Amino acid sequence: MTSAFWVLEGMDGCGKTTQAKLLVAALQAEGRHPLHLREPGSTELGEGLRTMLLDKKRQDWDPRSEALLFFAARNQLLHEAIGPALDSGRDVVCERFTPSTLAYQGQTPALSAWVLELDRLVVAPAQRPNCIFILDLAAAESFARVGGETGVEEHDSFESRGLAFQQRVRDGYLAYSHAFPHNTEVIPVAGKSMATIAEDIFRQTQLRRS
């Protein structure tokens, strides 16, 4: 079976995890054996870095330092999981990838160029996603879904950065989709059922595979 690499992206609260699970189930129903991963995480190194990066009590770090840590997690995931799975003919479904680093750490032209350079160095041509699904939601809606203003106990270090930050995250995703239209699909999610969104995504995987 030919393998394919599918990425689910979007702001906090957009429903990535639910959609990743639904896509995995749909691919399984087709007789495939997809590997479900998340970033940062899914390896020992990635989960360790996740704990450090998402700790809401940590200091603010330079965005380049954050980006290097996310890319360390990504490199390990490519080496341990994504590369071997694709080589063995499996599909990969991954929650978040380089567009997250652009949206969260690459919020100026200089930073975004630097993040794209890291992506070029770390991600081999054969390991590039077939499609990145950006689950698009207004920043205010995303912010409300994760509990609004700062101070919410469960907020991680990124969710607690406020509405203006989340607006820049959304702008970053939309800029990415304009820069790389061939391998992105922007899926508006507001007001749509999880099942409808899942159908849209699955249909695209079928179109893009053929």
* Binders of ligand TYD in range 171-200 (CB under 6 A): none
Rank residues 76 and 203 by Cβ distance to ligand TYD and give the closer one: 76
Which tokens hold the place of 153?
């106990």
38 binds ligand TYD (CB under 6 A): yes
Rank residues 143 and 158 by Cβ distance to ligand TYD and give the closer one: 158
Give the separation between CA 181 and CA 131, rounded to whole angstroms.
10
119 binds ligand TYD (CB under 6 A): no
12 binds ligand TYD (CB under 6 A): yes
Rank residues 101 and 112 by Cβ distance to ligand TYD and give the closer one: 101
Angle at 94 between CA 91 and CA 99, to 5 degrees: 125
For residues 69, 136, 187, 50, the Cα torsion angle rounded to the nearest 10 degrees is: 20
Residues 97-116: x where in contact with ligand TYD by CB under 6 A, - otherwise, as a string:
---xx--xx-----------
Give the separation between CA 13 and CA 51, rounded to whole angstroms.
19
Residues 6 or more apart in contact with residue 86 via CB below 8 angstroms: 3, 5, 92, 126, 127
User: Judged by CB under 6 A, which of 80, 141, 156, 199 binds ligand TYD?
Assistant: 156
Which tokens hold the place of 98?
């380089």
Span near ligand TYD by CB under 6 A; candidates 23-31, 36-44, 129-137, 190-198: 36-44
Nearest approach, Cβ of residue 182 and ligand TYD (Å):
22
